Structure 1
Amino acid sequence: MQAALRQHLGGARWALRVSEAALRPRCVGPASPPAPRCWSCGGPVPGAAGLPHFCPSCRALQPPGPRPDLFRLMDCDRSFSLDVQRLQRRFRSLQRALHPDRFGQRPPKEQHYSEQHSSLVNKAYQTLLNPLSRGLYLLELNGVEPAQETDCDADSEFLTEIMEINEKLAESKNEDSLEETETLIKVKREELTKEVTAAFERDDLQEAKKLLAKMKYFANLEDKLKNKKMPS
């Protein structure tokens, strides 16, 4: 009789453990985001996030993704050293495929997406083509605060050089003297570009930030030079 009682109690304890396990919350991993669907036909839209793509079913142009990586958009390595010809080829290819003129007979929503894509491609091209804006964008991607001109205030020798070029530019009265100043600014910009390239290659982002701050000074000088050369 005692053996039967022990067997009955054991069965009851097993049933209790099973019921507790059923009530215990299960660990469930994070739900995967739903697959994107075409705005036009509702079909699945595979493809790289943020890149321009068309619905494989109805060929409708899909909207641009939020905050796309401009390097990825333009099919370039995320690097300060850039293949300009490759960038230009990608720009022309995307503009041919996405230009609003190609979507004049499409629904208004698709026309709007075309305008958004075209504007984004223009922005990406201009950002990556210019060494200063390309470097500032790289800092942003790496979580570094934007370079400000005040970042190089401690370099008195550099600031003196900038002051002298400013004075030279202000005193330029003819085309020859303006061209001389323009050549000087160009040489200094090229030297800085090489230094920024080296800083990014060794992953010294703070040094790159200081050098980009210096490049901002020369960008301002170039703007002044252009205004000086414009006919009054």
Structure 2
Amino acid sequence: MWKKKLNSLTPLSSNLRRSKAPIPPPYTTATEFTSKQILSSSPKFKTQENYSFSFNSSSSKRLFKTPRLHLGLPNLNSNLFCSVSSSPAAISHCWNCNAVASGTAPFLACQSCRSVQPLDPSIDYFQILGVEKKYDIKVETLEGKYKDWQKKLHPDLVHTKSKKERGYAAEQSARVSDAYRTLTDPLSRAMYLLKLEGVEVDEEERISDPELLVEIMEIREAVEEAADTQVLNHIQAQIQKQLEHWSESFADAFCSRKYEEAISSIQRMTYYKRANEEIVKKL
């Protein structure tokens, strides 16, 4: 029954609420299972304390409801000035010609002799790609800066140079690529911002919210039972809404320096992102 409803593209939460589909192994019934079983069924989820709770199709809560932890849904434009402070850049000299770095751009390549410079860990990803150190950035502006750097730093462009400089080019090019991948992904960007603040986030840390765990399980069941691409796209759109919600929640918490709430938002984004990856594999 729920498959037909899902194919008609009625709200996904309603369809799953009426679902009669059996719970996949290791669950023995469709009405009771444990958080330990949910977590242990996926290699990405760590096992936590074994406590039971009930779930059935007639009393299940709406799948994509507003999360219990309400941090507000601010317009990201309100966070335009919520950024991490930068330390003054040290004066740098070219290892090859001893020229002094000029301007505010990071000193990755010498403007005088064009020699690629050794890696400087104090230069962060935001500086490399020329954007303000904050969560709300214009991602579409990053590609141009990334390509500009690769035209100067790519190892293929310095194949006739010394072994030392070829090594510098390989390191710099790899770091620019990592900066681009990190800042273009909302989840990675959020984690990197906290890292710059000295806050480490464990992506694999378990979450003890039963509602979230049940919701992720239902999403995975829906993906497995999806009849066609249209249904998968519908589920993916619902997941994207959740990702956007928790992305905004992170921005609000980060600007308020509420790092525990920021970490909680990141952990939830991680769960939804993994669920979305399962859909991508089937599309």
| TM range, smaller chain | 0.7 to 0.9
Distance 2:203 2:117 in 1: 37
Q: Aligned pair 1:133/2:188, yes or no? A: yes
The alpha carbon displacement at 1:37 in A equals 5.4
The alpha carbon displacement at 1:126 in A equals 0.4
> Per-residue displacement from partner, 1:5-24 (whole Å, max 9, x unpaired)?
xxxxxxxxxxxxxxxxxxxx
Q: Kindly indicate which of the two structures has a greater share of residues assigned to helix.
A: 1
Distance 1:176 1:35 in 2: 56
The alpha carbon displacement at 1:67 in A equals 5.2
The answer for the alignment partner of 1:40 in structure 2 is 96
Cα RMSD for the two superposed structures: 2.5
> Per-residue displacement from partner, 1:40-72 (whole Å, max 9, x unpaired)?
35x35446796413174x442211113531111
Q: Which runs of 5+ in 1 are unaligned?
A: 1-33
Q: Aligned pair 1:107/2:162, yes or no? A: yes
Q: TM-score scaled to structure 1, two decimals?
A: 0.73
Distance 1:211 1:151 in 2: 13
The answer for the alignment partner of 1:88 in structure 2 is 143
Tell me which amino acid in the other structure corresponds to 1:200.
F
Tell me which amino acid in the other structure corresponds to 2:127.
R
Spell out structure 1 runs of 4+ moving beyond 3 A: 34-41, 44-51, 147-152
Q: TM-score scaled to structure 2, two decimals?
A: 0.61
Q: Larger Cα Rg: Structure 1 or Structure 2? A: 1
The alpha carbon displacement at 1:147 in A equals 4.1
Q: Which runs of 5+ in 2 are unaligned?
A: 1-89
The total of aligned residue pairs comes to 193
Match of 1:164 among 206, 218, 234: 218
> Per-residue displacement from partner, 1:187-222 (whole Å, max 9, x unpaired)?
211222122222222222211110000000011112
After superposition, residues 208-227 of structure 1 pair within 5 angstroms as 208-227=262-281
Inter-CA distance 207–115: structure 2 relative to 1 (3 Å threshold): same
Match of 1:179 among 205, 215, 233: 233
Distance 2:95 2:149 in 1: 21
Distance 1:187 1:35 in 2: 45
Inter-CA distance 104–148: structure 2 relative to 1 (3 Å threshold): closer
Tell me which amino acid in the other structure corresponds to 1:53.
A
Q: Aligned pair 1:53/2:130, yes or no? A: no
Distance 1:219 1:91 in 2: 25
Distance 1:108 1:53 in 2: 16
Question: Does the 8 A contact of 1:104 with 1:111 survive in 2?
Answer: yes
Inter-CA distance 35–96: structure 2 relative to 1 (3 Å threshold): closer
